[in-house]
Amino acid sequence: MRIVWHKWKPPFNHYSGDLKTVDEIEADDSWNKDEKDNSFYSGPVCHTPQGLIPLHEHVCPSRLYNFWIGHTNFNISEAVRDQIKRAPGVEVLMIPTRYRFIIAIGQAFDEDAVKKEIDNLFADKKTVIEQVGEQMKKKYQYWAIVKDKGGKLNTFGDSSRAVVEAKIAEFHEPEEVMVSWK
């Protein structure tokens, strides 16, 4: 499983370099001095179904949040969504499609560390049992790994398959069993 990261750019990005702070707008000499009501705004605006919205630092999400888009090669299920939400540093999570998500990383967090943490959540990793199995394969002709109901891993190895099978039989309803001969 893999995630490719891209920095999110707002749809009105061509205005973002021209955006002023509210203090700069109020101090701007381009205000119409003849108006009794000094609420005229002369900066960039965005046309929306709700009308014109002035574009300044307080309405520009890219100035308020550190957004990143994650493109995946796996389906973003509810379980995946929950894992991403729990990652330290994730402030906002949006899932626009089944293979894409958008996160906002908190300002006090290192963005590279947060992205790496999320990458590690979904990296192709061998299970502990698979790793132990590889080690057992090097030492024994016949071996078994038994995970009991308490989650404890028990390993057995011998030159005789019958000996290993007898040890497995001592466990009543093990949670998981991995053997060398299957």
Q: Are residues 58 and 17 in the same domain?
A: yes
Q: pLDDT confidence of 21, banded at 50, 70, 90?
A: low
User: What are the pLDDT digits (tens) for 114-163?
Assistant: 999 999 888 766 677 788 888 899 999 999 999 888 778 899 999 999 99
Q: Show which of 122, 137, 156 is a domain's final residue.
A: 122
**The two structure tokens encoding residue 142:** 């016949």
* SS3 call for 147: strand
* Residues 172, 142 share a domain: yes
Distances (CA, A) of 154 to 47, 57, 172: 65, 59, 13
Q: pLDDT tens digits, residue range 26-85?
A: 565 554 555 545 556 667 777 778 787 777 666 666 667 899 999 999 999 998 999 999
Same structural domain for residues 96 and 174? no
pLDDT value, residue 12: 59
Say if residue 13 is in the same domain as residue 78: yes
Asked whether the beta carbons of 59 and 45 are under 8 A apart, the reply is: no
Rounded to the nearest 10 degrees, the angle between the axes of helix 78-86 and helix 111-122 is: 150
Q: Which of 70, 62, 67 is nearest to 5 (CA)?
A: 70
Q: Indicate the pairing of strand 51-54 with strand 45-48.
A: antiparallel
The residue out of 122, 152, 171 marking a domain boundary is: 122
Query: 73 and 159, same structural domain?
Result: no
DSSP-derived secondary structure for 46-85: EEETTEEEE-STTT-HHHH-EEEEEEESS---HHHHHHHH
What confidence score (pLDDT) does residue 29 get?
A: 56
Q: Do 46 and 62 lie in a common domain? A: yes
Same structural domain for residues 143 and 115? no
Domain that holds residue 137: 128-179
| Six token digits for residue 62 | 């890219």
pLDDT the model gives residue 158: 94
pLDDT confidence of 3, banded at 50, 70, 90?
very high
Answer yes or no: do 137 and 113 share one domain: no
The total number of structural domains that make up the chain: 2
Collapsing DSSP states into helix, strand and coil, what is residue 156? Answer: strand
CATH code of the domain covering residue 56? 3.30.1360
Is residue 76 located within the same domain as residue 24?
yes
Quick one: 27 and 97 in the same domain? yes
Residues 107 and 138 in one domain: no
Q: Are residues 54 and 114 in the same domain?
A: yes
pLDDT recorded at residue 130:
80
CB 182 within 8 A of CB 144: no
Q: Which long-range contacts (CB under 8 A, 24 or more apart) does 109-113 make?
A: 111/66, 111/68, 113/89
Q: What is the value of pTM for the model shown? A: 0.51
Q: What is the pLDDT of residues 95-114, one digit of tens each?
A: 999 999 999 999 999 999 99
